Every structure is written in structure tokens, then in C-alpha cells.
Structure 1
Amino acid sequence: MDISAELCFCTKDEPIHKVEIPYLLTYSLEGVTKSNLAFEAVDNIPVLDVRKHSLTYEDHGIQLEHIDSKMMYDDWQDSQKIEKVFLREARDTIRKVVGHHEVYIFEYRVRRRPKSFPYLAGQVVDPNAPVPVLGAHIDYCESDSVDRIEVIFKERAPKMLARSYQFLNLWKPLRGPVKDCPLALCDPKSVDFQNDTMLVQSVNTTSVGEFLSLHYNTSQRWYYVSEQMPWEALVFHGYDSRTPKAPGVPHAAFVQDHTVPEDQARESIEIRAVVFLDEDANESLEV
């Protein structure tokens, strides 16, 4: 069903950003503030049920797809089973959405809500922590996508960068129905890319990445899947090398029900992948 919810956004026009680049440290460094970002919680935002509104990856960058999996619930504790079994299932599901292109999965994260969650609005949370992420964001941008391909493919990177490619995500719960912290996704056609997004540096111990944080705009159209089940996967667009200035799909977790017991806390897995869209099949890509 369609609902209204509270979503969290990065605030706009912070004075500190006139003298400092927006940043987020993914580790603790003595004497250095973890981040110079500030967040606001915006209440009563309409969040439409994907089940009632037909969305396709081609038209909206968002698609709900059935996923067949041999994974049992206890298997999600076994990283080897995830990598040998589920990543291949995820690749097949992505191909059902985007077509039979070359798909390379380069990262996955299993997230579980701890007892201390949700955190207070405005609190900066390590994006690498395995918890639902409340701040609305887009995982990819033009510069970071190039950097990712250079890191992933190393000496093959120049050849891969010459091809057409997309970055995208696949997200599904490990158990259901999800009544606690579902994932909200924003139709990118409703995003004012220039005014609604802010480039943020994600500073790691050995590298600096970039992602886009989202400011709130009343024109944004948000969606979620009511009572999403483990065999239902959301596949959503992140970046396309053919249209580098077009936004990917902003997304964020939100607290739908504060009364959900701990044994029903949301557990999910997120897959990040790059898809090569041209017909050059000379490179053999494995999951």
C-alpha cells in the first residue's frame, strides 16, 4: 500500500562547505571530525508501493524481479556460499532485467539492524557498517565509476573504459515479509540532478572515493515494496557511461514500524555490479 514516511536527507548550503569539501571518513582518526555533513529528517513524504505502480528498469531505473535462490536462511552466515551460489543467482537475475550482457559483481554487503538502530537523525554512520543506511544517496558518480573500473580491472581498465557500461545494484531481504526498515527508492526522473545532489568524498585508509548525497525536493517521487519477500529483488540503476550527467536512483532505508520485535529486524543483502552493454565479448568476466 502507499504510505507516508520520514526520510533522511543531507542539508543544503552548509557554511562549512564553502571552505571544506563535503567528506565522510570511513574510519576513526584522532583529532579529525568523522564528517562535515549534516542531515535532516523530513516527515510525511509520500512513498508509493511498487506493487501498485508499474516501474521498469528501462523507464524508471527501478524494477522488482523474482529471484530463484538455493540459499537457506542459515547460509547467509557463510561467505563462501554467498559467493559461490548467490552471486551467480544475482547475476542471472540482473541479466533478466538488463538483457544478456556481461555482468561483473564486484561487491556485496549483508546488512542487519542492531538493537541500537535507528540512530538519531543527523548522526553520521559509517557507510561500511553492516546496518541499514538512512541517509538518501546515490552510490555512483562519473569520477568514482571510472576509478572503480580502474581498480577492478587493473591493466585491462583502458579497454573496459572504452566500452559502454552501467553500474547498478540488486537488493533483497534475507527473510520476510519486511516490515522493519524497508528500502525507499526515488524515480531519477523526479530528481533535479544539479540542485538535489551533492558530491561527497568517502575517505578510506588507502583511497578516496566519491558518492552523491541527496537534498530533499518536494518534486521527488519515492517508492518502496510493501512486505517484500526474500524471493523479490529490487534492481536499480546507479550510473551509465553513455549519459554521465543523468542521475542514478537515490535510495535510503526508512523506519516503517517502530514496534517490530527484534527477531523480525530487517536483514538484507545488497549486490553492486557493473554491466557492459556493447557487443564486445572478447573479455570473459566472472562473478
Structure 2
Amino acid sequence: MLRLAPVACAVAFPWRKRCERRQFKVVQCENGETARYVEAQFMGLHKKGFVQPGEWHPVTLWPPLSFRSVWETGRYFLNVRRPHVVVKVFNARDQEAIEGLSKREFFEKHGFVLLKKETAMTAADWMQCAPKTLDLSNFTGIGMPKIETAVSRIYAKEVEEMVRELMPSAKEVELDPLCARRGPGTKNPTYSFSVHQDYGFTAEDWPLMDNGFKSRFDAPTVKGFMAVNFWRPVLPMKGPVKKAPLAVCDPSSVKLEDTVPFRIRWDELGYVKMLALAHDDEQRWYYYPDMTTDEILVFKSFQYFKSQSGPELNTCFHTAFEDPTAPTNAEPRQSSEYRVRIWF
């Protein structure tokens, strides 16, 4: 990670040779390069010291409820910093250019990368393959129907090519027939403006792990496991993403003690483990301005290898945010989230 000088100033940069000029701020790096960023208001960041190492704070949103569960849930939400936290979100396009790494090397170093990948999926394909709200089947594959869809016929093959490009040591790739969609007219019409991470640290934290996951992970031929999110703008969106882009945090910039492990019950299936985040100025956030439907953001959501000695953070906290440089009449974002499980 590049270290930055403390002085910043506001400048205007042309972007993609358009007449419109976007307002960024810039900092001088120690190596002489400059890095652009916007200052955005992030929601859902916690105060420090709420959860002790090794603990998982309970959050109960589904009955049965008790006085204790209501108390613990209330404590969790009262610990969220309000009304917001101002965060520097750096231009990841610049960062890739500054570092000059291959896409695979950048992904291995930072846990995320942008790929230029056209897709044969149509707007109708995306809608038909996202028939419900985001649920545990999208995160784990548990309960995912075994059906043929445009995703299984078209998109799964495109995604597997990207997996092989970025993770050539992958042995098996689990590709689902359904995805999740966000945007007006979808089952998830709003965006997630709260900083979060969808999984825990280790194989023991995998949601509903007793559903065959543990025995498979414990097999001597398995070295590790990863869940990766393939996030992209999709048709019928016409222009680049300006409204509610996605920001990701470089995991190497996050102290383990600033993660907020919690277990949440939001349906009848029981508690699942996830991570929230306590804010620290050293955390390094990125986004790719003006993503198009021909681009895809690939980022790690879960990673655990048997060679690890214990919990590590190798995955990306993420959130939607309001880009302060976006025009007020920006086109609403239409996007797809496709989580892939990879065995090594």
C-alpha cells in the first residue's frame, strides 16, 4: 500500500474524455505519484472496543425473542456511529495504474480487482435469474434450486473463465443458477449503505456448516475454500454508475481488533456469523468510478486455508455510498451480485 503525505487539495480531473469534469481531491504519495479520492459519508461503522476478541455478539431479528436478546440487539445498534463517518474513498483505477501489477497480482495483494468482461446476458436474463430477495441460498448455495437458467447456460461459463484467470490453483468452482439483483424494479430495489462483510473468519464460521460443509472441508485433499463476489452493473442500465457505487476496503489496512464479529438471526434457519467494522483512519477504501456494464468488480468475501494458524482478514468489507461528485439526476444503479464458492 502506498503511503500518503498529509497535505491534500481539491482539484478537477477530466474522466474518460467527457465534457463533464468531476471534482476529486488529491494527495501526494511518498513515491511522487498522486492519488485521487472523494470524501463520502459512510453508515454502519461502529465505535471501537464493542466486541472482545473471540466473541460473537448476538443480534436477533426473528422470534423467539427474550428480554436478553432484545437488550443485546439494542446494544449492537446503539454502538453504531451516528449520523455518519466521513471516509476517504480512493480511485482504484488510479491505484491499479500506479502499482502496474497484473490483474491476478493486484487481486492477490488487495483482495479485489476490476476486469473488463462483456457478457451475453440480456436485461431479461438478469431479471429472470433473480426471482427473489437476497437470502442464504445466494451466500452459501444451501437451498439453491437445481434448474437451468440463463445464468447457468451463459454467465456461469463467463465467470468460471474469470476464476481460472485470477485463481489458477482452484480445483472446483460451485456456480449457482440464480443471482441477486439490485435497483428499481428488482426484488432488492434499495442499496446496502451499511459497511459489512457477509461471512466470518474461518471454516468454523461458515453459515450452517453442519449442512455437509465441515465434512467436505475436513477432507485431506482440500487445502482451502473461498467465496468470491462478482459484482457488476447490468442492463437495462444505460450509462456508467454514478449513483450508489460500491466501495471496498483493502483487508491489509484493517486491524483484526477493529472487526466486529456478530451472529445474526434474520429468519427461521438460525444464527449466521458476519462481520461489522469499527472505524479507523488507517482503513483504506477504494471504488472504481463510472463502472459500465462491460466491467466487473471481483472481490473476496470469505477465505480460509488450512495452513492458517487462526483467524485472518483476507476479505473485503464493502458498502454502497453516495458519491459526492455524482450529478443529482444520476441514473439509478442496476447491478448484479453473483457469489461463487471455490475449493482449493
Same fold, judged at TM 0.5 (above):
yes
Residues 126-275 of structure 1: pairs in structure 2 closer than 5 A: 131-141=190-200, 142=202, 145-147=205-207, 150-151=210-211, 156=216, 158-159=218-219, 162-174=222-234, 175=237, 176-194=239-257, 196-203=258-265, 204-242=267-305, 243=308, 244-247=310-313, 248-256=315-323, 257=326, 259-261=328-330, 264-275=331-342
Question: Partner amino acid for 2:159?
Answer: A
Shift of 1:166: 1.8
Structure 2, gaps ≥5 residues long = 1-35, 100-105, 130-148
Shift of 1:147: 4.1
Q: Which residue of 2 is the match for residue 77 of structure 1?
A: 127
2:127–2:181 contact (8 Å) kept in structure 1: no
**Alignment CA distance shift 1:13-1:5 (3 Å):** closer
Structure 1, gaps ≥5 residues long = 115-127, 278-287
Question: What TM-score results when the alignment is normalised by the length of structure 2?
Answer: 0.65
Residues 31-110 of structure 1: pairs in structure 2 closer than 5 A: 35-36=73-74, 37-38=76-77, 39-40=80-81, 41-54=83-96, 56-79=106-129, 80-99=149-168, 101=170, 102-105=172-175, 108-110=179-181
Shift of 1:108: 3.2
1:201–1:208 contact (8 Å) kept in structure 2: yes
How far, CA to CA, are the matches of 2:113 and 2:279 in structure 1?
23
**Alignment CA distance shift 1:89-1:24 (3 Å):** farther
**Alignment CA distance shift 1:172-1:200 (3 Å):** same
Give a deviation string over 1:157-197, Cα, whole Å, max 9, x none.
54389432222211111134001100000111110112x11
Question: What TM-score results when the alignment is normalised by the length of structure 1?
Answer: 0.77
Shift of 1:78: 1.3
Residues 107-122 of structure 1: pairs in structure 2 closer than 5 A: 108-112=179-183
1:149–1:160 contact (8 Å) kept in structure 2: no
Q: Which has the higher contact order (CA 8 A, sep 6+)?
A: 1
**Alignment CA distance shift 1:179-1:24 (3 Å):** farther
Shift of 1:221: 0.6
How far, CA to CA, are the matches of 1:162 and 1:57 in structure 2?
22
**Alignment CA distance shift 1:99-1:16 (3 Å):** closer
Question: Partner amino acid for 2:299?
Answer: F
Size of the alignment, in residue pairs? Answer: 260
1:6–1:43 contact (8 Å) kept in structure 2: yes
Shift of 1:43: 4.3
Alignment root-mean-square deviation, CA:
3.4
Shift of 1:149: 5.5
For residue 2 of structure 1, the aligned residue among 12, 34, 37 is 37
**Alignment CA distance shift 1:148-1:104 (3 Å):** farther
How far, CA to CA, are the matches of 2:50 and 2:211 in structure 1?
34
